[in-house]
Amino acid sequence: MSFWIINLVTALLSFVIAGVSGIFLVPFLHKIKFGQPIKTVDGPKWHAKKQGTPTMGGFMFIISTVITAIAGYWIYRWKVGIDTTDKKSFYPFYLMLGCILFSAAFGIIGFIDDYTKVARKKNDGLTPWQKIALQLLFSVGFLAVIHFFGDGETRIDLGFWKSPSLEIFYYILMLAVIIYLTNAVNLTDGVDGLCGSVTFVAMLIFTVCCTILKKDEMTCFTMALAGGCLGFLLWNLNPAKCFMGDTGSMFLGAAVTGVGLILHKHLLLILVALVYILEALSVMIQVTYFKYTKKKYGEGRRIFKMTPIHHHFEMSGFSEYKIVISFSLFGMIFGVLGIITLLALN
């Protein structure tokens, strides 16, 4: 059984598990009334019709990814015949497992946030500082795993330029990257099917990059998550029968960031994650400009019709399907550019 067959089977099983689990999860979420409260102040008014759509659907791809990634890895080891007496032969598994646990930990943060929203029947869960404190805690643990079981490199790698060794400052900078990017993925989950589709593309790109960098074990995780996202989209494409909630989007954010940091190719991470980066950046630009103009002119002005930027396109007349397709293609184009730069500069 070749390596790619193992990967394809892993992705297919993850797709099936995620898709089939929705048959049981969605009615269950309806039964316990775990519907998403919608705050139309921060989104288009017509999103009010989505009020009560079951949330926490991210469990579909979380469960499928964890099961199939670990199973796929051990099948890979068995078929390849890796020397199990060599302790270092387990390091790639520890990195993959660290990425899974890191993603799951962020998923737990999202679950707490979702549960709090549902319990209060308001679109307000954990406070921003509570989220950041928990995110920092789990991020430190993940960076420790990378330090001990990865290459221990502390230089910024942009392909065409590498920084001097930053030592402890590298990890401080990476904490900021984790916090920004995981929350950027969370912001991307504002249109039916958007976050799942963009992440599906990102994981396919990362799979190719892991292969190029000879980190084959990580592809078990990236392909499992790609399959899981695709299975979830059966329930999440417009009109969504279920939302992933913060449970799912925080898991995806940690997964994207985790894989990128393990590969230690920072230009690649920027290109693959550019959709998420721009989503969060649009919010920062909007808020900063609004505050600046309010202070200067006495009234706040906006650059975009609404942020995150997918809402700007939605307010401009783009259908949710068109936004999903456009953003996914944008992600694919820059992801392929990432692969090209990796091949050229590696």
Residue 48, pLDDT score:
61
The CA distance from 155 to 162, in Å, is 6
pLDDT value of position 261: 97
- Main-chain phi, psi angles of 90, to 5 degrees: -90, -10
Q: The dihedral of CA 261, 266, 269, 270: what is its sign?
A: positive
pLDDT (0 to 100) of residue 292:
94
Tokens of 127: 């406070």
Helix and strand element counts for the chain (H, E): 12, 0
In the structure encoding, which two tokens stand for residue 46, read together? 């017509």
C-alpha span between 197 and 300 (Å, rounded): 34
Give pLDDT, residue 80: 72
Query: For each of the chain's 346 residues, which pLDDT tens digit applies?
Result: 577 888 999 999 999 999 999 999 999 998 887 766 666 555 666 566 677 789 899 999 999 999 999 999 988 888 776 666 667 778 888 999 999 999 999 999 999 999 988 877 666 678 889 999 999 999 999 999 999 998 788 999 998 899 999 999 999 999 999 999 999 999 999 999 999 999 999 999 999 999 999 998 899 999 999 999 999 999 999 899 999 999 999 999 999 999 999 999 999 999 999 999 999 999 999 999 999 999 988 889 999 999 999 999 999 999 999 999 999 999 999 999 999 999 998 7
Query: pTM of this prediction?
Result: 0.94
